[in-house]
Amino acid sequence: MQTQIRWVDKTCSEFTARMKEAETRISCLEDDVGFQRMTWKTMEKQLEDTQWKLTDLEDRLRRNNLRVLGIPEGVEGSDPHGFIVVLFREAFPDLHQWEWDREIQRVTGSPLIGQWDRLQKEAAG
């Protein structure tokens, strides 16, 4: 009878040790899962911010908007280039026509193939 009691006591001790080990492992895994969730949420936020920045950059690259303070939106009508030329000629009458073409071209990017010759001829003539 004494041996059976020792056996039961030993078995209970083993089960208790296993339960403690399992609880420790589960606790560690729960902590890891909590950390992973926080990391996941942080990464989702960073991804969302990065996607917004990328969309904003793409939108800015696709448009050649020039905002002039004090000029209402849409005043230029269907000829924004002509409107800007007239506006700046009135504001800066001392500059020559070829300088305006060059400065406006600098704002909008490089000329297309064949346009450069036309700009040089207009500046010379």
pLDDT band of residue 122 (cuts 50, 70, 90) is low
Report the share of the chain in percent with pLDDT over 70.
71
* Residue 71 confidence (pLDDT): 80
Q: 77, 101 in Cβ contact below 8 A?
A: no
* Residue 8 confidence (pLDDT): 86
Q: 80, 105 in Cβ contact below 8 A?
A: no
| Separation of first and last alpha carbons in the chain | 121
pTM here?
0.38
Averaged over 25-34, what is the pLDDT? 92
Give the tens place of pLDDT for each residue, 41-98: 999 999 999 999 998 888 777 776 666 678 888 888 888 778 887 887 888 777 766 5
116 is written with which tokens? 């450069």
The residue ranges of every structural domain in the chain are 1-63, 80-124
Q: 101, 123 in Cβ contact below 8 A?
A: yes
